[in-house]
Amino acid sequence: MKIIAVVSAKGGVGKTSISANVSAALARMGRTVLGVDLDPQNSLRLHFGVSPQHFDGLARASLSGASWRDSILLGPSGDYVLPFGQVNEEDRQDFEEILRTEPTFLLDQLRSLNLAHNALVILDTPPGPSVYLRQALSAAHIPVIVVLADAASYATISMIVGLIEQYCMPQPHFVDYFYLVNQVDRSRQLAGDVADVIGAQLQGRQIGVVHLDQSIPEGLACNQDVLSYDPHSRGAHDIMECAAALDRIVSAYTGEY
């Protein structure tokens, strides 16, 4: 089991959409993939076609002592999702207290699932420093930093890299961290230029670029990943390229190639 944490220092960069669509792409490539929602907004499940009225998830299971396995749902693309779950404010605070006092809680719970040896866990995280991000980074083999092609997003990179250095690098299972540039609009000269500059500066650590493509949000509106909704779109092509890059990284690390 290898754990990939999708992270960013600021909100609105499309982490959840990337997590869900890359999970679907990796499942199509033959991987066993589990998307895990570590964000109290509990929105990852919507990308897997789960009803908004669904209440179960990892937070509720943790507070009740139930197994996380009982809350895992099968997605339409053959991947799986573990929602955060609907909780009230008191329960959320109680769950966060567990995360604060048990530094390896997330990793222990994921290991207890006994996933297949080639399984990938994709962690969707809330933006910025939090107890959720600390748990995710401490458990992750590979953090993927999602950035936009703008100055504000680029300026936050040093902060998230600092957190990776603090929580990931001391872990014996840590592999390396990488970047994904999201929502690039090539029709705007400045956005394209910034994307190129970021790509040049992140050379060697960038797993791909996902261009701004309405097929991605349209797919969500139809309860589909972009590969199912519009497999020939630019967005679908970009997602497959990013998934393939991650697959190569994991395969090189595990000796599959």
* Count of beta carbons in the 10 Å neighbourhood of residue 28: 18
Mean pLDDT of 137-158: 90
80 vs 10, more confident: 80
Share of the chain above pLDDT 90, in %: 73
Check if CATH label 3.80.30.20 holds for domain 2-254: no
d(CA 68, CA 59): 9
For the cut 80, the answer to whether the pLDDT of residue 96 exceeds it is yes
User: Are the C-beta atoms of residues 147 and 198 closer than 8 Å to each other?
Assistant: yes
Query: Could you tell me which residues are beta bridge partners of residue 81?
Result: 35, 73
Residue 256 — pLDDT band, cuts 50, 70, 90?
low
Task: Report strand pairing: 33-37 vs 2-7.
Answer: unpaired
Predicted local distance difference test score (pLDDT) of residue 185: 83
Predicted local distance difference test score (pLDDT) of residue 255: 64
What do you get for the CA distance between the two ends of the chain, in Å? 17
For the cut 90, the answer to whether the pLDDT of residue 189 exceeds it is no
Write down the pTM of the prediction.
0.93
Share of the chain above pLDDT 70, in %: 98
What are the angstrom distances between the C-alpha of 29 and each of 24, 79, 156, 246?
Answer: 9, 11, 32, 11
Q: Which range (118-132, 194-208, 238-252) has the least confidence?
A: 194-208
Q: What is the mean pLDDT of the chain?
A: 91
Could you read off the pLDDT of 31-74 as tens digits, one per residue?
Answer: 999 999 999 999 999 999 888 888 899 999 999 999 999 999 99
For the cut 70, the answer to whether the pLDDT of residue 173 exceeds it is yes
User: Are the C-beta atoms of residues 23 and 160 closer than 8 Å to each other?
Assistant: no
Instruction: Write phi, then psi, for 237 (nearest 5 degrees).
Output: -60, -45
Angle at 69 between CA 13 and CA 44, to 5 degrees: 20
Could you read off the pLDDT of 82-92 as tens digits, one per residue?
Answer: 999 999 999 99
Predicted local distance difference test score (pLDDT) of residue 257: 45
For the cut 90, the answer to whether the pLDDT of residue 254 exceeds it is no
Predicted local distance difference test score (pLDDT) of residue 64: 93
Give the neighbor-by-neighbor strand order of the sheet with 73-74.
73-74, 80-82, 33-37, 120-124, 2-7, 142-148, 178-184, 206-211
d(CA 88, CA 66): 18
Residue 216 — pLDDT band, cuts 50, 70, 90?
very high
Residue 196 — pLDDT band, cuts 50, 70, 90?
confident
Predicted local distance difference test score (pLDDT) of residue 157: 87
d(CA 21, CA 31): 14
Closest C-alpha among 250, 222, 246, 219 to residue 234 = 219
Mean pLDDT of 168-178: 93
